[in-house]
Amino acid sequence: MHMKQYKIRAFFVTMLTVALVFVLTVPVKAQEIEVIDFDAMLSGPLRISIDSKYGLADALASPLAEIREMAYNKAGDFGPDAITVVAPLLDNDNPEVVRAAKIALEKIAGAATETAETRTEASRALAYATTIVDNRNELLRLLANTGTHEALEILWRISQTREDSYDAALMAIENIAARSEPGVLMGLSLGMISSFRTEQGPKRIAMINAMGTIGLDDFVPHLIWEVQNGPAKERAIEALGNIGHTAALDVVRAYYVEHLDNIALEAMLKIAEGLDAESAREFYNSLLASDKGTHARVAAISGISNVATVETLPMLIALLGDENIDIRGAAHCALVNLEGDQYTTRLVIAALQAEADNKSALLNVLYARDAETGRVAAEAALNDESPSVRITALTLLGEEPSVEHEQTFLDASRRGTPESRKIALQGYLSLAERELADNNTAKALTMFHRSLSLALEDEERIRALNGLTEIGSPDTLNYLEGMQHRQTIHMPMARCAIAIAKNLHESDPVLAREIYEHIYEVGLKDRAVEDMSEEERQIFNSLQKGMRSLGIEVNFAQNAGIITNWQFIGPFPLDSFEKAYPPEIETFDENASYAGANDQQVAWHRIQMDDVFGVVELHKVLSPNQNVKAYARAVVRVEDDTQCYVKIGSDDGIKAWVNRQLVHENDVQRGLTLDQDVKPAILKAGENEILLKITQAAGEWQYVVRLTDRQNAPLTFNY
């Protein structure tokens, strides 16, 4: 049935519906107003049947959302013949009808593509539909999904005859052709070649690109011609690379030599992947020997590793000593990737015979290929006359250290160059960590203490401190005292001291308290919260928790001007950022409740944050927490009228009022950081209300608010 007839039919259905509604709802003094019963409508005289394809189309075109929904849910039960009946709805003026039609067509086409026979039927139906519909791009996409020969022919015809659908048709052709047997594409290839001779400009480029995707060998001579004579040389090079025919290699290589173009390089490499092993080796060797830059040489080495033989090995080993770090690295990876024990054996022999630098590199290769072989080779190299080889050996043994090497690591960490001592100590620390994991605490403690004394750099000191933090023994306090001058590791030291203090709560609370107060006074008191790292934040939180558990009153967040006492309400449906709910419209009423998201009633709750950053994590306390919003309120008291900054961090969007005056809004999806948005505001003497609206897409949902004066010093306030 043609679209026009559908429109007429739908029109009358609509008019009858409207008339019925009008008749039933117009107030008549002597009659009651009747409520519309949709179910009755569907089953009564105006019943809309979805038992036929025409009924399906009628229902999809219904002004009633419920009927459209019913229709597209049933669409998958219909065969491909329904396509031509539904397709005209793609031109409907109502976007919701168009949407319903798209869903229905996808379901019909999806069901129709199950067998070859129905795919052919669907192709023909879709093809016909493209001739009666203006907005046909959706049909072209579905046509591509059928993947049939007919679809290919139809799409080619469309690309040649309908300018407005050229791109969509070509896209669909590429999709099918990339997955079809060459025989299927014969007709297409002739058509494309013929068209290629005459197309110009963007269409020519699109045609060349399509040829590369389709990948027929028939295209190669024409693309070669393009490289040599045509305007779209680079596109043709790329297409030749995608086709991968070896006949194009010389042309592509010549282009690369002249232009040093990365697209040409990639094309060459793709073509080379199709060469036989011997030809490939020859190609990669010549690329390696050419002076065409590191990028090409590295790619050549990678290619060589795929077609290598034992004869190739000496060349790759020699490259381990190249002056170029990139080449050395590429050779390393190539040697690691060679599969087969024959290579391992030869590499072991080469390592035994090599000079110092190459020996280190070969030890690394052996270890990367097989840890056991590498370890054996490294053990043998521990007493090598070359310091760099010994360092390499220690490093490799330290990757997964064995207890039998404990004394070796300890001895090596006491003497030698700083580099070798560092590496040896790292191995020793790994063993200490393993002892700790195995609950050999006493031994681990001794090893960590020893490491602290031997460490030359902070990296090792921090590792030792991390281990000592887990143990939390008061024996460590003396070591910490001796390291107080080491400013760069105050945070790990603080963490360790806090852990020790925590363990002393029961046995020696006085000492525990002393430790906490000392940490705060010496290390943390003057840290500005906005400069804190996540690590410092965790340390501050631990410290605050420890101090409070001993009855010490502290509130680091408030010291930084962060508001920690809140009331919050939600969630409400997101709808839009602007959509306002009662908390931002009405006067505050602590006892009020409102309809929130998912039809739940929502009311105000109190929360006091302990975290030093004062971040309120709404996603942990409100549900649902996707595509929703919530409100938060705080009342702060200041002594005088105060000009301040309100510094807000939020995930996601935020709107902020001070005493119901809007000070900030930011409709954004983002992660939270402190002080993301800084806005000036004025607080009046006495109580001031801070009201926030916080929107949420998905994931974390949180906010933090800080008050500072105009010189950015934390504001003093009460609740």
668 binds other proteins (CB under 8 A): yes
Contact stretch for other proteins (CB under 8 A) within 31-39, 128-136, 396-404, 538-546: 396-404
Taking the complex as a whole, how short is the minimal distance between the CB of residue 114 and other proteins, in angstroms?
7
Cβ partners under 8 Å of residue 559, min gap 6:
714
Is residue 400 part of the contact set for other proteins (CB under 8 A)? yes
Interacting residue with other proteins among 62, 84, 130, 145 (CB under 8 A): 145
Beta strand pairing call for 601-603 and 593-595:
antiparallel
- Please give the distance of CA 70 from its chain centroid, rounded to a whole number: 37
Instruction: State the nearest-atom distance from the C-beta of 93 to other proteins, in Å.
Output: 12
Structure tokens at 518: 């000392």
- By CB under 8 A, tell whether 341 contacts other proteins: no
Torsion of CA 662, 718, 512, 508, to 10 degrees: -130
d(CA 219, CA 217): 5
The torsion angles phi and psi of 178, rounded to 5 degrees, stand at -65, -15
Query: Could you tell me how far CA 360 lies from the centroid of its own chain?
Result: 38
For the CB of residue 390, give the shortest distance to other proteins in the complex, in Å. 19
DSSP 248: G
CA distance 570 to 597: 8
d(CA 254, CA 259): 9
User: What are 300's two structure tokens?
Assistant: 């050549």
- Compare residues 158 and 634 and give the one whose CB is closer to other proteins: 158
Q: Residues 454 to 473: which contact other proteins by CB under 8 A?
A: 463, 466-467, 469-470
Q: Which of 84, 426, 542, 702 binds other proteins (CB under 8 A)?
A: 426
Is residue 262 at the binding interface for other proteins, with CB under 8 A as the rule? Answer: yes
302 binds other proteins (CB under 8 A): yes
Residues 222-241: x where in contact with other proteins by CB under 8 A, - otherwise, as a string: -------------x--x---
Q: Say whether residue 132 binds other proteins (CB under 8 A).
A: no
User: Minimum distance from CB of 634 to other proteins (Å)?
Assistant: 24
Chosen residue from 58, 174, 226, 536 binding other proteins by CB under 8 A: 174
In the list 333, 489, 522, 554, the residue contacting other proteins (rule: CB under 8 A) is: 333
Omega of the bond prior to 652 within 30 degrees of 0, cis? yes
Taking the complex as a whole, the smallest distance from the CB of residue 553 to other proteins amounts, in Å, to 29
Cα dihedral 351→352→357→363 (10° resolution): 40
- Least Å distance between CB 382 and other proteins? 19
Site string for other proteins, 49-88 (x = CB under 8 A): ----------------xx-xx--xx--x------------
Of the candidate residues 332, 405, 629, 706, the single one contacting other proteins (CB under 8 A): 332
Nearer to other proteins, 273 or 379 (CB): 273
- Rounded to a whole number of angstroms, the minimum distance from the CB of residue 155 to other proteins is 11
Contacts of 43 (CB under 8 A, 6+ apart): none
* 406 is a site residue for other proteins (CB under 8 A): no
Return the H-helix or E-strand segment holding 161.
helix 149-161
SS3 413: coil
Characterise 353 by phi-psi region: left (phi > 0), alpha (psi -120 to 50), beta (else). alpha
Task: Provide, rounded to whole angstroms, the least separation between the CB of residue 476 and other proteins.
Answer: 15
| Residue among 545 and 637 whose Cβ is closer to other proteins | 545
Selected range binding other proteins among 105-113, 191-199, 308-316, 517-525, rule: CB under 8 A = 105-113
For the CB of residue 493, give the shortest distance to other proteins in the complex, in Å: 16
CB of 366 to other proteins, least distance (A): 12
∠ CA 236-238-243, rounded to 5° = 90
3-state secondary structure of 89: helix
Residues in contact with 359: Cβ distance below 8 Å, sequence separation at least 6, in sequence order: 351, 381, 384, 386, 389, 392
